[in-house]
A = this chain, B = another copy of it.
Amino acid sequence: MDTIVAVDLGGTQIRVATFSPDSDKPLQIKKIPTKTAKSQPYDRVVEAISSLWPKDKQVRCISAAIPGPVDPKTGVIVSTPNIEGWKDFPLGAKLHNQFNVPVYLGNDANLAAIGEWEYGAGKGHCDLLYLTVSTGIGGGVIINNQLLEGSRGMGGELGHVTVLARGPMCSCGKRGHLEAVASGTAIVRHVKKQLAKGKKSVLQDSDDLTARDIASAARTGDKLAITALARAGKFIGHALADFLVIFNPTIVIFGGGVSFSGDFLFNPMRKALKKNVMDHEYLDNLEITIASLGDDAGLLGALALAKSKTKHDN
């Protein structure tokens, strides 16, 4: 039996694991920091993979989750805000030259989607939407049992649809995108703005105020916190109404820390969804749920990608 090497490349940690193609339980797993004083991130990746490289088995491929857009055809990383110097970085070709096996790359939200589809909350669904609401908002889409990548791997960027014309500036430099009004960052920004205006709240304006603090305050009944989460939920519902008519999925899976805000986020979202979606038939039998893979999303997503890309090799 051959082996798949899965890599989850984060800005702070690199996780590498080896798998048998028929199991989601890792044979071996290794975690190392991405940055050290002595070596560059690429060298760290090579080191981590080498340390797990099986001596007695064939390696079918290396598959890696990347924290940023990547061209799946060329293996070039367009950019990664969290890893310095990796702009137009040909990681696929470099790893291929180093290890002489096929290399597959995908951005982390896309791989979380395919991971949830193969191993997590989306098992058995053919058409699946995954939305991660965290510092930013990312997305991944499975259509007819295939990951949507787009011509240069830049598809599925569900956080960068416009939901509020002339709205606040997004991390990408354009205005009013979903990420700019409904991400954790946007929720914190909204709360800070309201506090500056003198709105009463148990929350205090500080540099380390987080969306998690806001969710906690909401649970104690804090009105500003509740309103801020409801506002984000409403915008997510607007965007989701669009995604449903575009993709007609049977399940929507939410990942990312903000998803744990529960009904404070999801009730207003469902209300906005019903109000805007073209026809109730898109909601009939639609499951809306929370991601189940947690910290393993990157590694299991990379494993699922490897399996989908090499399925005819089985």
Q: Which residues of A come within 8 Å of B, CB atoms?
A: 78, 126-127, 141, 143-144, 146, 148-158, 160-162, 164-165, 170, 172, 174-175, 177, 238, 241-243, 245-250, 275-279, 281-282
Contact = CB atoms under 8 A, between A and B. Distances in A.
Contact of A246 (B161, B165, B174, B279): B161
Given A144-B148, A242-B242, 7 more contacts: A141-B246, A146-B146, A154-B245, A154-B282, A158-B245, A170-B278, A172-B278
Nearest to A235: B165
Contacts of A148: 143-144, 247
B242 A162 contact: yes
Contact of A278 (B152, B160, B245, B247): B160
- Looking at chain A's contact residues, is the secondary structure mostly helix, strand, loop, or mixed? loop
Number of identical monomers bound together in the oligomeric complex? 2
Contacts of A153: 248
Contact of A143 (B143, B152, B278): B143
The 10 A-B pairs at the shortest CB distance, nearest first, are namely: A150-B248, A155-B248, A161-B242, A160-B278, A157-B245, A154-B248, A127-B151, A172-B278, A151-B250, A160-B245
B248 A278 contact: no
Nearest to A279: B172
Nearest to A147: B144
Given A157-B278, A242-B242, A275-B174, A150 B162 contact: no
B247 A162 contact: no
Nearest to A175: B276
14 contacts: A141-B246, A143-B155, A144-B149, A150-B247, A150-B248, A151-B248, A152-B281, A156-B246, A160-B245, A161-B242, A162-B241, A164-B165, A175-B276, A246-B246
Contacts of A127: 150-151, 155
Contacts of A279: 154, 172
